[in-house]
Structure 1
Amino acid sequence: MLGSVVVPTLRDNLRLLPGTPDEDGAPRWLLYDVVRNKYFAISERAVSLIRHWQPGFALESFLSFLQKKNIEIDAEELHAFVRFLVANNLVLARDQGSCAGLYQQGAGKRVGVWKWLLHNYLFIRIPLVRPDVFLGRHLSLFSFLFSPAFHFVILFLGFLGILMVIHQWDEFWSTFLYFFSFEGVLVYGVTLALVKCLHELGHAIVAKRYGCRVASMGIAFLVMFPVLYTDTTDAWRLRSRKDRLRIVSAGVWTELYIALLATFVWAVLPDGSIKSAAFFLATTSWVTSLLVNISPFLRFDGYYAFSDLIGVENLQQRAFELGRWKMRRLLWGWPDPLPEPMPRYRVRLLFAYAWATWLYRFFLFLGIALLVYHFFFKVLGIFLFVIEILWFIVMPVIRELAVWFKRRKEFRLTWRRSVFFASMFFLIVIGAFPFSVAVSLPAVVRSEQHQIIYPAESALISLSRVSHGGNVTEGEEMIVLHSPELEFHIERTRQEIAMERVKLSRQASSLDEKTEYAVTMRRLQQLERQLRGLDERKSKLSIYAPFSGGLDLLEPVHVGRWVNKEQPLISFRQELGIIVEGFVSELDVRFLSEGDKAVFIADRGDFTLGGLRLERMELSAIPSLPYPELGSDFGGHMAARQLREGRLVPEQARYKVMFDHGDLDDIKLDGRMTGIIVVEGARRSWLGYQLQQVASALIRESGF
């Protein structure tokens, strides 16, 4: 087999550089591809092979040559190294077979436009500038950024600014709420772009300071969202992990320093545009640094910093291998050896990191799937959503399940695994078992006939014949109001009418007045209509009982007090019985049926009403809240938004439910009483309910 393999010729533009020692302290080297700006870490044994490289030799002959040089290496290891060089295009293609291999390799990587977009729409990188020459010429301009005095001043001002913001926290928070608008979001976007430019410039400056080449800076699209990037691949040539860590963390430190300085500026400046700009810089830098860049679970700054900090290269790939090994060992007892030898503490660290990353990625990819669904038009959104779920969540699970099925005969059952699987089965049974579920819904208990009286005008109480808790008969006069302003308008209108009538009586004595007869008559008619309207308003100042029943005073009603038309004065109730109404959400409708038992619990806590039974439920959702006090804006239990015309519309579809209260008609209520009704609904399982929720969402979103 080895006799047909020929030692290929290494490319002339490769460079061999000393690298960082291996994790066990063994020396390593870097094979640098100048053309593609790529680094390949190789061992001391691989370097010894390169030193004695004999292009054109058959592999068996080269193996014999190495043995004469006292280099111990087996045939399989040598063949694997040759395959590594060929696969990474580190050799020259001088014969027809090598050229054909390179052509096939390139053809295999070429895909159509749609397939390329499908695999790369999550992350596309476009280089824009090559700043290496510019940074080399002007690096001295940034030397002050690395002085201890600069760091001390920024940290001191930032600490002082934070203390001052704490003392002005109400103003700071109100500023945040003020800018939470369309204009605020727009300015935030511009500020975020500026901060990210400085972030990437921080990477580039620190990399150049340590002698690395900054190959390119540009823009990348993460799920079609533009982000900036800096190519600091050349940092691999640094032998010190601390230096690489400084380059990786430079962007985060830049944003934090901007946030500290902007926080101080906001705290000391008076109101104005500069203070607003400082607010945006401070909040944007804090949020993006702490919530985005520091995360070690994605291949951003936090990941590479964490990798250098613990001294583990290819962190995610190696951690995932270890995580799968540990999971298979715990679940099935497979006695597979460790993927690679490492200390026990590192095994535990990478195992925990792998599982945390899987959990993080599950929710992240699910969020990205929802994001692409809502950002694009419906057909493309559904397609990308399905691809996202299948490619990043379902397919890895299927591949792992395929390995389990293939090796199912190697399963080893122990008492611990028996307890574990029995517990999982028990939880599934519990989740699938239907339990009786109590459904809570906002409700109102009110008198069967109820009315609240408001004053017709802003007026003075001149007569009052009512008392709290008293009874009245229909048509009985209760309150008489007096409005001096209304009396003034009535008297003035009467005087104007009298003047117009005098003009009409003199129509025969003056030729000019005769010509104005029509005008005077029209004016007189207008004044008479106006007087009738004023008299009608005056008649409404006397308040009569709309029906016989009890009343309660909502405001003190005594002679000499001023009231306005927005003040509720009296609450009437006709003691014919009570009505109990609830409003159930669309998600809980299926769990209610006629005859279900229920109990009402008032919000005020001193009233309950038991023995209720569900009488009927309306088929259509309510268009608006019939009782404003049930809305969230007024302290109620239902989330609602107010339209321009004043109506409150529930955010979620609600259905009106009527309850029968039996023989409780003798209960007297002071107006309306809000609370919740707890209904003993139909039996349901938690697992079935969750599946119904998913199915409902899919059916709802599948409509076009």
Structure 2
Amino acid sequence: MSEATWRDHIALGAAADKGLHHVRVGEKYFGVSRLMYDLLSGLSSQNVPVDEAATLRHLQQTLSYGQSQKVYAQLQGFVAGASPSRSLWQSFLRGLIKFPLWRPSAAWTARFQGRILTPARVALSVLLGLASLGVAVVKSPALPPITAVGLGEVLTLWVLIIATTLVHELGHAMVAAHYGVRPRSVGVAIFFLQPAGYADVSDTWLYDRRVRFATALGGFMFQIYPLALASALWYATSNPLLGHYCLINLGYFVINLIPFVRTDGYWLLSNALGENNLMNKGTFTLRTLLRDPGQLGRMGAGDLSFALFGLASSLYVTGLYAYSLGFLWQLVPWRGNVPVLGVMVGLLLIGLIVREALRRRRVPRAQGVV
């Protein structure tokens, strides 16, 4: 195996914001001064090995020995990240456990750069969305209640919604590519115990706010296409299955805009505030307040807002898990069959172990990092 270099762990932003330059080290995104940006750029472009001696030699060309040690210690922490067990637990708390299936290439990204958000495509999406909403308003009064739908139809709707999430996530990836941002991975995920698609476009944080806003909204643009097709068929056939799918699809738009989990609404709010660690800050501030309630009187408006956001997020996550458990429990005819349930849990655990093994193989291990 070739020696790991900082190029494997550093990504440099394409734009500066408020005098700071966007960078990613490991999984951490933040803004740095021009001096630090140049240092990180040198570590990456010169393929400096990640071991301590080589890194310190490079840093000491600009910094003192003491400063170089501090910078190296910080870089170590960013690259090492959380332990596998802690990382899995954090994914569970976020409600999203990812299974990467595809890592788009630079050539794929270049193929779609500047070709997705054309005026014609954007206008078409808006018109199709309005037309679909109009069909729902006209046809929904005659639609039988969802409770009258049989188990087979429920499973069909479930599969259709899962497929819709894949289309939605592909939209994020395509819009990111439009701006030259290479998606880090695309695949399937367990989203609050439900299968779904996902696209990791977190490198949009290396670009300006306009790119991040557009990418966060890109999923809706693509989600409109299956909605419009189903709406046209519903209007022509009055098929209740299609009607329920259209209403659920429209509801998915609304749910996705709720900002208390890491869905599109969360990223839109994060971008509006310019805070890519909004969830972490909210959770940390809430925990601090719970450990020492006396701090409530000393908290400023900003910290109090973070704490309230953390509380709302915690309650919303709990509610989503409870709803998903109830939904899945109603689907299975073998609810009382403990061995079958044990097999299902075992398969899930095996999948998580395989996921971690694949992640370890794909990510170069940083030598000298503890």
Same-fold status (TM-score > 0.5): yes
CA–CA distance in structure 2, aligned partners of residues 266 and 139 of structure 1: 32
Partner of 2:310: 354
- Note the aligned Cα RMSD (angstroms): 4.6
Partner of 1:28: 21
Task: Report the alpha carbon displacement of residue 286 of structure 1 after superposing the two structures with TM.
Answer: 0.9
Aligned with 2:294 (options 318, 327, 332): 332
CA–CA distance in structure 1, aligned partners of residues 11 and 184 of structure 2: 19
1:84 aligned onto 2:74: yes
Task: Report the alpha carbon displacement of residue 185 of structure 1 after superposing the two structures with TM.
Answer: 1.3
CA–CA distance in structure 1, aligned partners of residues 160 and 305 of structure 2: 38
Q: Is the 8 A contact 2:289 2:296 kept in 1?
A: no
Aligned with 1:187 (options 153, 156, 166): 156
Aligned with 2:36 (options 32, 41, 46): 46
Partner of 1:128: 101
Q: Is the 8 A contact 2:122 2:221 kept in 1?
A: no
Partner of 2:202: 233
CA–CA distance in structure 2, aligned partners of residues 355 and 118 of structure 1: 19
Partner of 1:219: 188
CA–CA distance in structure 2, aligned partners of residues 252 and 133 of structure 1: 24
Aligned with 1:17 (options 12, 30, 49): 12
Fraction of identical pairs, as percent = 20
Task: Report the alpha carbon displacement of residue 217 of structure 1 after superposing the two structures with TM.
Answer: 1.9
Letter in 2 for 1:354: G
Partner of 1:599: none
Partner of 1:307: 270
Pairing 1:352-431 to 2, within 5 Å after superposition: 352-367=308-323, 378=338
- Number of aligned residue pairs: give it: 323
Partner of 1:147: 118
Report the CA distance shift for 1:266/1:213 in structure 2 as closer, same or farther (over 3 A): same
Partner of 1:284: 248
Secondary structure of the structure 2 residue equivalent to 1:212: coil
Letter in 2 for 1:17: L
Secondary structure of the structure 2 residue equivalent to 1:296: coil
Task: Report the alpha carbon displacement of residue 230 of structure 1 after superposing the two structures with TM.
Answer: 1.4
Partner of 2:215: 247
Q: Is the 8 A contact 2:289 2:295 kept in 1?
A: no
Secondary structure of the structure 1 residue equivalent to 2:258: coil
Please list the CA deviations of residues 613-669 of structure 1 after superposition, one character each: whole Å capped at 9, or x if unmatched: xxxxxxxxxxxxxxxxxxxxxxxxxxxxxxxxxxxxxxxxxxxxxxxxxxxxxxxxx
Q: Is the 8 A contact 1:158 1:264 kept in 2?
A: no
CA–CA distance in structure 1, aligned partners of residues 7 and 206 of structure 2: 19
Aligned with 2:165 (options 186, 193, 196): 196
> TM-score with structure 2 length normalisation?
0.66
Secondary structure of the structure 2 residue equivalent to 1:88: helix
Partner of 1:600: none
Report the CA distance shift for 1:213/1:180 in structure 2 as closer, same or farther (over 3 A): same
Q: Is the 8 A contact 2:162 2:195 kept in 1?
A: no
Q: Is the 8 A contact 1:297 1:303 kept in 2?
A: yes
CA–CA distance in structure 2, aligned partners of residues 194 and 131 of structure 1: 20
Secondary structure of the structure 2 residue equivalent to 1:41: strand
Aligned with 2:177 (options 198, 208, 214): 208
Secondary structure of the structure 1 residue equivalent to 2:317: helix
Secondary structure of the structure 2 residue equivalent to 1:146: coil
CA–CA distance in structure 1, aligned partners of residues 205 and 219 of structure 2: 18
1:294 aligned onto 2:238: no
Q: Is the 8 A contact 2:125 2:224 kept in 1?
A: no
Q: Is the 8 A contact 1:157 1:261 kept in 2?
A: no
Q: Is the 8 A contact 1:19 1:27 kept in 2?
A: no
Structure 2 spans left out of the alignment, 5+ residues: 346-370
Aligned with 1:316 (options 254, 279, 282): 279
CA–CA distance in structure 1, aligned partners of residues 268 and 23 of structure 2: 20
Task: Report the alpha carbon displacement of residue 252 of structure 1 after superposing the two structures with TM.
Answer: 2.6
Structure number with the higher strand fraction is: 1
Secondary structure of the structure 1 residue equivalent to 2:23: strand
Structure number with the higher helix fraction is: 2
Task: Report the alpha carbon displacement of residue 371 of structure 1 after superposing the two structures with TM.
Answer: 6.8
Partner of 1:574: none
Task: Report the alpha carbon displacement of residue 201 of structure 1 after superposing the two structures with TM.
Answer: 1.7
Task: Report the alpha carbon displacement of residue 225 of structure 1 after superposing the two structures with TM.
Answer: 3.1
Pairing 1:534-613 to 2, within 5 Å after superposition: none
Task: Report the alpha carbon displacement of residue 355 of structure 1 after superposing the two structures with TM.
Answer: 2.6
Task: Report the alpha carbon displacement of residue 118 of structure 1 after superposing the two structures with TM.
Answer: 8.2
Task: Report the alpha carbon displacement of residue 247 of structure 1 after superposing the two structures with TM.
Answer: 1.0
CA–CA distance in structure 2, aligned partners of residues 127 and 138 of structure 1: 21
Task: Report the alpha carbon displacement of residue 308 of structure 1 after superposing the two structures with TM.
Answer: 0.9
CA–CA distance in structure 2, aligned partners of residues 120 and 158 of structure 1: 33
> Greater RCO between the two (CA within 8 Å, min separation 6)?
2
CA–CA distance in structure 2, aligned partners of residues 316 and 56 of structure 1: 36
CA–CA distance in structure 2, aligned partners of residues 362 and 290 of structure 1: 19
Please list the CA deviations of residues 142-195 of structure 1 after superposition, one character each: whole Å capped at 9, or x if unmatched: 94x633344444434543554455444432x23x55971123213212322332
CA–CA distance in structure 2, aligned partners of residues 260 and 286 of structure 1: 11
CA–CA distance in structure 2, aligned partners of residues 244 and 205 of structure 1: 13
CA–CA distance in structure 2, aligned partners of residues 246 and 327 of structure 1: 37
Please list the CA deviations of residues 285-340 of structure 1 after superposition, one character each: whole Å capped at 9, or x if unmatched: 1122222x2221112222222211221120011123334456677x42578687xx
Partner of 2:227: 259
Q: Is the 8 A contact 1:256 1:286 kept in 2?
A: no
CA–CA distance in structure 1, aligned partners of residues 89 and 294 of structure 2: 36
Task: Report the alpha carbon displacement of residue 235 of structure 1 after superposing the two structures with TM.
Answer: 2.1
Letter in 1 for 2:32: S
Partner of 1:623: none
Q: Is the 8 A contact 2:258 2:266 kept in 1?
A: yes
CA–CA distance in structure 1, aligned partners of residues 245 and 224 of structure 2: 10
Secondary structure of the structure 1 residue equivalent to 2:262: coil
Pairing 1:508-523 to 2, within 5 Å after superposition: none
Report the CA distance shift for 1:131/1:277 in structure 2 as closer, same or farther (over 3 A): farther
Partner of 2:352: none
CA–CA distance in structure 2, aligned partners of residues 300 and 350 of structure 1: 18
Letter in 2 for 1:82: Y
Letter in 2 for 1:254: F
Q: Is the 8 A contact 1:19 1:237 kept in 2?
A: yes
